[in-house]
Amino acid sequence: MNKIYALVPLVGLLLFGGYYWKHSRLHAARLDAIQRIEETARQERRAKEAADRAHAHDQAALTLALRKQERAEKDRLESAQKQARLALEQRRDAAAERAHRLRPQRDRLHSEIVTIAAALARAEERKRELQDEKAFLAEYVRTAEANQNAIQRLLETAETIERNHAAAPPPGGAVAPRKS
């Protein structure tokens, strides 16, 4: 493992040294080739610029003719747009006038909606109250019926006890007083 720590940097150093030596040897030749290429490019560029100037002069004449034609087309479009804008303004004014006429009806309908919504809310509240009252009464009736049944059973039990008490002989032979 310790050999790897020593060999890897040494191999890296050798590779870098070989690359650097090769690059330093060819660098001067590359610089000369680049200068020759740049000079050739400059000459070609100058010739191209001269040709471009002549072409630009021709294009300028064509452009002037095109501009004149475009200006005529633009004037025609502007007049069409102006007519369209006037038609739109007329429609807008008519719509605004119609909205102004319909505003009172809208306000009236809006107030009716508010009134109806309030009445509906009151009706819903009343409905809820009636449902609560119905539920209360149903529970009350169930409770009253249960109480009635309990009282009836209690009365029956009391009558049974009283009958048993009346039918049984008194203890010690004494006669029990009767209730009238």
pLDDT (tens digit, 9 = 90+) per residue, 55-79?
Answer: 999 999 999 999 999 999 999 999 9
- For residue 160 the two structure tokens come to 């049974």
83 within domain boundaries: yes
Q: Is the pLDDT of residue 170 over 80?
A: no
* Within a domain: 9: no
| Mean of pLDDT values over 110-114 | 94
Tell me what the mean pLDDT of segment 99-126 comes to: 93
Average model confidence (pLDDT) for the chain? 89
Is the pLDDT higher at 127 or at 171? 127
In the predicted structure, residue 165 carries a pLDDT above the cut 90 = no
Does the residue 128 lie in any domain?
yes
Instruction: Let me know if residue 61 belongs to a domain.
Output: yes
Find the range with the poorest average confidence among 26-30, 80-84, 100-104.
Answer: 26-30
The residue range of the domain holding 143 is 30-163
Spatial distance between the Cα atoms of 29 and 61, rounded to a whole number of angstroms: 48
Q: Is residue 6 in some structural domain?
A: no
Given a cut of 80, whether residue 24 has pLDDT beyond it is no
Q: What is the mean pLDDT of residues 35-59?
A: 93
Residue 19 included in any domain: no
Q: Is residue 23 part of a domain?
A: no
* 82-102: average pLDDT: 94
Q: How far is CA 29 from CA 26, 36, 42, 104, in A?
A: 5, 11, 20, 93
Domains contained in the chain, number: 1
Report yes or no on 179 lying in a domain. no
Residue 95 scores a pLDDT above 70: yes
